[in-house]
A and B are shown apart, each in its own frame.
Chain A
Amino acid sequence: MSGSRLPAPWGQRIDRGQSVTFSFEGRSYAGYCGDTIASALAANGQWVLSRSFKYHRPRGMISAAGLEANTMVHCGDEPNVLADRHPIAPGLVVCAQNTFGGIDRDYGRLMELFTRFLPVGFYYRTFFTPKIAWRFWEPVIRKLAGLGAVNVEAHHGYFDKAYLFADVAVIGGGPAGMAAAISAGRSGAEVILIDENVVLGGALTYARLDVTGRQAEEERLKLEAEIASLSNITVLTGASVQGWFTDNWLPVIQGNRLFKLRAKAVVTATGAAEQPLVFRHNDLPGIMFGTAAQRLMRHYAVKPGERAVVVVANNDGYGVALDLLDAGVEVAALLDLRASPPVDAVAAAAQSRGVRVITGSAVKEAIEGRSGRVRAVKIAPVLGEGLLGASSETIDCDLVCISVGYIPQTALLSHADAKLVPDPQTAMPRIETLPAHLFVAGSVAGRWALAATLADGARAGLVAAADAGVEGITIPAAIPADGHGLTWSWPIFPHHKGKEFVDFDEDLQYHDIPDAAALGYDHIQLLKRFSTAGMGPTQGKITNTLIQRVLARATGASPDLVGTTTVRPPIGGEKIGHLAGRSFDPIRLTAMHHRHLQAGASMMPAGAWMRPAYYGDDQAAAITAEVAAARTSVGLIDVSTLGGLDVRGPDAAAFLERIYTWNYANLAVGRVRYLLMLNEGGYIIDDGIAARLHEQHYYVTATTSGVDQVYRLMLWFNAQWRMKVDIANVTAAYAGVNLIGPKSRDVLSGLCTDIDLSSEAFPYLGIRTGTVAGISARVMRVGFGGELGYEIHVPAGQGEALWDALTDAGEPMGLRPVGIEAQRVLRLEKGHVIIGQDTDSLTHPKEAGMSWAIGRKKPRFVGRAAMLAMEAKPQTRQLVGFELADPEGPMPKESHLVIDDCKSGGKEIVGRVTSVTRSPTLKKPIGLAFVPPEKAAPGSTFQIKVEAGRMITATVVPIPFYDPENRRQEI
C-alpha cells in the first residue's frame, strides 16, 4: 500500500480511537473520525479520485485544500462534493463522477486518442455546421458534459439563514487573521473570525517554518489560547465567506446555514495558495503541492508516498523535503528551478540530511504508472523562461511535490473592486487601492515571513477596529512587503507532445491558449469563453494566473495589460438550499379558521389568506346545498378576509370623495354606500363599501387581495394632499361574517337585543353598532347574494365566539356555513362584478357597466380625467350578462374566447367570458362576458369557443339574473 498512516504526532485532526467505515465506488474503506474522504482513501492507497472532464485522465489531489475539481465526488445524494474537504461518516456512500465504467477502468479515456481532433473550442467549430448537425450532437454532448448527477428523488434538507453583526470581521484564520482578531479584540472591538478549516492556524497547522518543525504549532497554540481568552471574539470555523458585497455584507456558509454578516470593518487575511507547475503529464495523481503533502501528513497522518521528487523555486520547498524525510518518505531528489538558490537554515538542514539537490533543474515529463499514479519523472535543466534542455535523467518516484510559488487569494478583494496589479518584482499581484472599511493582512497583502505576517495582522486589526469606531487606538507603522523571491515567474514548460495542463478543470493544455489567441480570441474575456479556461467548477482559482501569463506571451502584451477575468461571487460552491434557506411564507388565518376545518371545509388560498372553498366531500353537492341555504333559509359566510380601513378625521368625507368615484359627503351617518376605486389611468382597481359611523368616521372595506394596495394608495395620496384625515388598516383587527338568507333576521334577533333589526329601523344599506352574543359589533345590512342579510364585524379575538354563537342560534333554522364557491354563484346570480375577475387592468367603469357608481358632478376623483378621456373614445367592449341557447350543452369556462366573423374574412377574437356557472337557483347556465358594444343589447347573440374548439351560442340578457327588482335583499 503506497499510502499508510504515520504515527502520532502526525495527524492532528484524526481520532485514532474512532474508526469510521465508508464506501467508495462500491468498495468498503476504513478511516478515522476527522478524516476527509480524500485523506481516508489516500491512507488506503486510493489516490485516483476522479476522471478528467474531456480526456478522462486519472486525477487526484493537488492542493488537499479543495482548490481543484479533481477531488469532486458524488456523496450520498449530493454531487460535486470536494473529497478533500468533506469528512467521512459511518456508512457514507461515495462514488466517482464523470466516468464510463468506473474510476479504475474508464473507457472514456479513449477520448485521449482523439486529442488532435479536439482542438480548443472544438465544439463551437464542429457541431454547428451545417446547422442541422447540432440536432445530432446536442444529446451526445449533453450526456458527456457536466459533472455529477442530480438525484431528483433526494429528500429535502433543512437549511436556514441567520444574521451576524460585528465591528470587525476577520476573514481567514491563519497567523495574520488570528493576529488581527487578537489586536482588534484587545482594543475592545467585537470581532468575528472566520476560517474555512476546522482548526484555526492556516499555514501554521502544516507548514515547516524551522529546522525542528515545532515553531509553527507553538505559535499557533499561543494565538489560539489568546483568542480563546478574549470573550469579544467569536470564531466560526468550517465556514466559508462566499463573497464581499457593498457595505461589508458577507455571506458566510457554515454547514447548512447561510450567515448574513454585516461588519463595520473587514480584514481580509485569506492567505495564498501554491501555484502549479506546468509540464507534460503534470496532472497525474501523486503530483501535488508541497503544502498538500504537508497537510496530508500533519492533519491526517497520511504518508503521501514512498519515494518523492520535490520541485522548488523557494526555500519553503526545503521544509517540505524535511517533513517528508521525517515521515519516512525517501526524497529521491530536490529539483530547484533556481540556478543559485540562497541557503537558509531549513535548506541547509535538508542538504545535511542527504537530500540530493539539483539546482537549475525541473521536471520535463511525468510518467504514468499502471494505477494511473505517477511512477517516474524525467528531469531537465532550465535553460530559460519556459525552456528546458534535453532530458537528463529519469527518476523513479510515486510522489512529486511542487513548491514553486504562490497565488494570493484575492477573490474577495476583487469583489470589493480593489485594484490589483501584477508585480513583476514578486510575480504576484500587488494591491494598489482598497475600498473604505476593507483591509488586508498577511500573505494576501504581501507579508510572508511569520514575524511580518503577525505584525501586519496585528496592525490591520487595530486599523479595522479604529475604522469601526473604537477610540484611542494608536496605529503602528506599516510592515514592509517581503514577497520577493517566493514565486517563480514562469512556471510553465511547454512540451512538444502536449498534455501539459494549464487548466485542470477543463483539460486545457498549454497550446490551447496560443491557439485560441491565434484564432482571434486574444482578449482574456473572449479567451475564457472560447477556451473555457477558468469556467470550470473552481473558476480557475489556481490556474487563472497561468492563463494570464500564457496569453500575455502569445499576444506580446504584459500581464497587467492582459488583465484578468472578472471574479464574481460565490468563491466556493454553494447549494440552492443555502440560497433558499428555511422558507418563510406567511399564511393568514381568520379567527374562524379552525371552525371551518372542523366543519369539513376544503380550504383555498386567497392572497395570503386561507378561505373555505366549500364544506363537505362532494364539491358540487356542497355548493348546491350552500346556495340553497342562502336562498331559502340561512347561511353563514366568513368574510374576515375583506379589507377593513378606518378613515377618520374632519376631512374624512372629502378624502373619500377624492379617492373613490361616487359621493360620500352626502352619505348619512348610519348608512352604507358602494364604492369604486380607479387608478390614475382611469381603470378599475378595487371596490367595497363605505359605512358612515360618524360625521368624521367611515368604515371602508376593500377586496381581500386589494386592501394593501388601497391602503398604500390612500397613504400615498394623503401624503400629497395633506388632508386632516387618519387612515388605519384594521383588516386583521376585525373578524366578519355575512349572515345571509331569509331567516337571517330570525337568527340574529336571538343574539342581538340592543339593535332594532326591523326593516323600518334598520333598512338595507344601513349600519348599526351594538352587541351580538355579547360581543361589541358593527352590523351592516349589505350583501352580494341578493338576500336579506347582515354583515357583522367584531374584534378578531372574539370572531370564533361570534361564529359559535351564530352557528348555535341558527342550527334550528337550518343554518349552513357557506364557502367561497357558493358565494361566487350567489353573486353571479345577482350579476355582481368581482374586481380582478370580471375586470382586468384596463377596464374602465363604463365598459364594466358601472357608470352608476360614478359621481359625474364631482370636480375630481382619482382617475377621473383619464376615465373621461377613455369614455370620449369609441367603446370597444362591454361587459354583459348571458345565457346559453342550449342549457344542456357544453359549458364555457372563464376566459374562453368570444369569437366573431372578421371583416376581412375568417374569425377574430372579440371578447372573453369572465364568469360562468350553472345556476342552481335558476337551473340554467349564466355568465358574464366582454363582447363588442354592437352585441351588448339584450337579445343579441354571440359565439363562444369552448373546449375542443366547439362553438356555442350565448344570448345577452339583462342583469341581475336573480330577483331583478332587488326585493329580497330589502325585506
Chain B
Amino acid sequence: MASSSLRRSFLRVPLNKIGATWADLASAEIAALIPGENASAPVVLRDLSTMPRTGFKGADSPAWLEARGVVLPPAPNLATKQADGSLVARLAPAEFLILGALNGDSAATDRLDSAWTIDSAGFCFQLPRRDSHAWLHLSGDKVTAMFAKICGVDLRTKAFANLAIAQTSVARLSAIVIRDDLGNIPSYHLLADSASAIYLWESLEDAMKEFSGSIAGYSSLPAP
C-alpha cells in the first residue's frame, strides 16, 4: 500500500506503530482495526482523517448549498445532520464544513465538489477541508473530562448541546469541535491543522491516559 497513490492518513506512522490494520475507504486508507482496542473505553480516539469532507465559504454559499438540497444549520456554530448521514457544520454565516457520513459514503461530498466551479458558483468558494484539517473522533463517558485538560471551552454535555460547535484552541492548536453523539455516547469530531496532526494525536493520547482511554479503529465505530 506504501506505493499507492491513495490518500494516506496524517497519522499513518503513529497508527502503524500500534499495529493498525488498514482498509480502503472512499479512495483512501483508513485505520480499520487497532490491536487491543476497547471501543467502550471511557475515552475512545479514532482517526477519520482520510474520510470524505469538504467546505464552502463566501456570501453566496448558503444559497448555493441550499440549491443543492443541503439543509443548513440556522446559525453559526451549529451543525445539522443530513438525510444521507453527512453533517453540515456552519462555522460562520457564510462558511460551511461538510463531513461525510460516518459509513464512509462520499456521495454527499463528491456531489457538491463536482458541482462546484468558480464560474458557476458566484461568490461561493470550495475549500480543501479534507487536506487542510485532520479529523479525529472522540467518544466515551469521560471524553469531556479529557477535553477539560486541553480545551478551555466547557464541552460537557450539560453545557454544550449535541450538534453544537466550538471553534477554539485545543492543546494550543486552533480547532473545530463538533458534538455529534453516537446514540447515548457523548461523541465529538475534532478537526485541526493537518500538519499538526501527530502533535495533536500525541497530546490526546497523553490527556486520555488517566481515563484509561483507548485508540480504536474505524470498524468499531458504532452505527449512527
Contact = CB atoms under 8 A, between A and B. Distances in A.
Interface of A: 160-165, 190, 260, 582, 584-591, 594, 608-609, 640, 646, 648-650, 694, 696-697, 724, 726, 728, 730-734, 773-775, 795-798, 800-802, 804-805, 808
A584 B132 contact: no
Interface string B146-169: 001111101010110000000000
Given A165-B154, A594-B13, A801-B4, A734 B127 contact: no
Contact of B118 (A589, A640, A648): A648
B130 A797 contact: yes
* Among A726, A797, A801: residue with most chain B CB under 10 A: A797
Interface string B1-29: 01111111110110000000000000010
A797 B30 CA distance: 12
Interface stretch (B33-41, B97-105, B181-189, B195-203): B195-203
A189 B158 CA distance: 12
Contacts of A696: 118
B57 interface: yes
A694 B118 contact: yes
Contact of A586 (B57, B128, B130, B196): B196
Contacts of A694: 118-119
Contact of B6 (A165, A590, A734, A801): A801
Given A588-B199, A732-B131, 12 more contacts: A162-B149, A586-B193, A589-B199, A591-B8, A648-B118, A650-B123, A694-B119, A696-B118, A731-B195, A800-B8, A801-B8, A802-B5
B171 A584 contact: yes
Contact of A260 (B123, B152, B156, B173): B152
A586 B151 CA distance: 14
A797 B7 contact: yes
Given A724-B123, A730-B128, A162 B49 contact: no
Contacts of B198: 587, 589
A798 B172 contact: no
Nearest to B57: A726
Contacts of A774: 5
A763 B90 CA distance: 42
Nearest to A583: B172
A366 B26 CA distance: 85
29 contacts: A162-B149, A163-B151, A165-B159, A190-B158, A584-B203, A586-B171, A586-B199, A587-B196, A588-B195, A589-B195, A589-B197, A589-B199, A590-B195, A594-B12, A646-B125, A648-B118, A649-B58, A726-B57, A726-B123, A728-B125, A730-B127, A732-B133, A732-B193, A733-B131, A795-B7, A795-B128, A796-B194, A798-B5, A808-B3
Contacts of B5: 773-775, 798, 801-802, 805
Interface of B: 2-10, 12-13, 28, 49-50, 57-58, 118-119, 123, 125, 127-133, 148-152, 154, 156, 158-159, 171-173, 193-200, 203, 206
B195 A796 contact: yes
Contacts of A165: 154, 156, 159
A586 B197 CA distance: 9
Q: A162, A585, A697 — which one has the most chain B CB atoms within 10 A of its CB?
A: A162
Contacts of B159: 165
A552 B161 CA distance: 58
Contacts of A161: 149
Contacts of B131: 732-734, 795-797
Contacts of A589: 195-199
A43 B10 CA distance: 59
A162 B148 CA distance: 5
Contact of B195 (A584, A732, A802): A732
Contacts of B6: 798, 801
Nearest to A585: B172
Contacts of A594: 12-13
Given A694-B118, A733-B131, A796 B10 contact: yes
A589 B6 CA distance: 19
A835 B120 CA distance: 38
A730 B127 CA distance: 8
Nearest to B146: A162
Given A732-B131, A796-B131, A582 B206 contact: yes
A603 to B, nearest CB: 13
A734 B130 CA distance: 10
A48 B150 CA distance: 44
A434 B23 CA distance: 62
Contacts of A608: 196
Given A587-B199, A648-B125, A728-B127, A797 B10 contact: yes
Closest 5 CB pairs of A and B: A733-B132, A588-B195, A584-B172, A733-B128, A797-B7
Nearest to B150: A584
Given A190-B158, A797-B8, A697 B118 contact: yes
A295 B58 CA distance: 67
Nearest to A693: B118
A795 B4 CA distance: 15
A502 to B, nearest CB: 44
Contact of B194 (A609, A724, A732, A804): A732
Given A648-B125, A801-B6, A804-B3, A163 B148 contact: yes
Nearest to B16: A594
A649 B149 CA distance: 41
Given A646-B125, A733-B194, A773-B5, A164 B148 contact: yes
Nearest to A808: B3
A801 B8 CA distance: 8
Contacts of B197: 589
A640 B194 CA distance: 12
B66 to A, nearest CB: 19
- Most A CB contacts (10 A, CB to CB) among B3, B129, B131 go to B131
Contacts of A796: 10, 131-132, 194-195
Contacts of A649: 58, 123, 125
A731 B128 CA distance: 10
A165 B159 CA distance: 10
Nearest to A609: B195
Contacts of A646: 125
B169 to A, nearest CB: 9
Interface centre among B158, B173, B195, by most chain A C-beta atoms within 10 angstroms, is B195
Given A609-B195, A808-B3, A163 B172 contact: no
Nearest to A801: B5
A535 B188 CA distance: 49
Nearest to B55: A728
B58 A726 contact: yes
Nearest to B156: A165
B178 to A, nearest CB: 19
Contacts of A733: 128-129, 131-132, 194
Nearest to A798: B7
Contact of B172 (A586, A648, A775, A795): A586
Nearest to B28: A797
Given A696-B118, A726-B125, A588 B196 contact: yes
Nearest to B194: A732
A601 B127 CA distance: 33
A704 to B, nearest CB: 11
A805 B129 CA distance: 24
Contacts of A773: 5
Contacts of B172: 584-586
Contacts of A801: 3-8
A605 B130 CA distance: 26
A802 B2 CA distance: 11
B42 to A, nearest CB: 15
B65 to A, nearest CB: 15
B2 to A, nearest CB: 7
Contacts of A802: 5
Residue of A164, A584, A697, A774 with highest tally of chain B CB at under 10 A: A584
A160 B145 CA distance: 13
Contacts of A797: 7-10, 28, 49-50, 130-131, 194
Contact of B8 (A190, A732, A798): A798
